[in-house]
Every structure is written in structure tokens, then in C-alpha cells.
Amino acid sequence: MKRAQHIGQARPRSQNLDHHALSGPGFTSQSFERAVRLLRAIGDEGRLRLMEILTREEACVGDIAQTLGERVSTISERLRRLRDAGLVVRRRKGKHKFYSVADSHITEMVLNTLSHATEDES
């Protein structure tokens, strides 16, 4: 139980009796680059609000604009950026384009991020 005597105290790495070399990276460089692109794409309050709506249901640009009280052109630009990042997908039905979250991993990421932020408010 050597660790217990050092709780709350910083210890130089060379004194760490449990020190061992870290194994190689668990993810590729491309994985990290893609993750950064995804996080940048939702790293804006307007885009994150839009993503939260899409975690609940598929929606068209006009309905999203009305819900958020924003211009259709603003919502279209945000959706374009989210789509380019692979976070949302689009399907056409007649004149309308409907958007939804690309997959369940994205839904979980958005909801977990918002849940974590809500915990900090308490």
C-alpha cells in the first residue's frame, strides 16, 4: 500500500514504483483527426442546439428554423457543416430535405455532453 502514503502529494515520476512504459497508442492518427473535426463541428452553441433537436427526431430546415427562432439560411449553413463532418445525414422527400443524426454514437455523444454540462450546473 505504498500509494496510500502519497495521497494528495505529487510524486516525481522516477519515484513511482509502479511506473511502466505506456503501451502504444490505442487509436490511429486519423482517428484523432476525425475526432477533432467532429468536436469542432459541434463546438458552437447554435450547432449543438440543432444537434440536440435532431437527437429527438428527424426534422426539415424550416421546422428547425422555426423551433430555434432563426433564419432558414442560418440553419442550412449549420446543417451543411454538420453534414460535412458526418454528424448528420439528409434524405429528400418531395421538395423537403429531412435531417437526422448520423448514428447512435453521435446521439450518445451529444446527450452525454449535455448531461455532463448539466451536472456542473448543480
For residue range 47-103, what is the model confidence (pLDDT) as tens digits?
999 999 999 999 999 999 999 999 999 999 999 999 999 999 999 999 999 999 999
Residue 36 lies in a domain: yes
Residue 15 lies in a domain: no
For 112, the domain range is 29-121
- The rounded distance, in Å, linking the Cα atoms of 87 and 44 is 14
Q: What whole-number percentage of the chain has pLDDT above 90?
A: 74
Report the pLDDT value the prediction gives residue 26, as an integer from 0 to 100.
Answer: 86
Residue 84 lies in a domain: yes
Residue 2 lies in a domain: no
Residue 72 lies in a domain: yes
Residue 109 lies in a domain: yes
Q: pTM score, two decimals?
A: 0.75
CATH number for the domain including 57?
1.10.10.10
Measured CA angle at 45 (ends 43, 51), to 5 deg:
80
Q: Is residue 97 within a helix (H) or strand (E), and if so which, with residue range?
A: strand 96-101
**Torsions phi, psi of 83, nearest 5?**
-70, -45
Residue 98 lies in a domain: yes
Residue 13 lies in a domain: no
Count of domains observed in the chain: 1
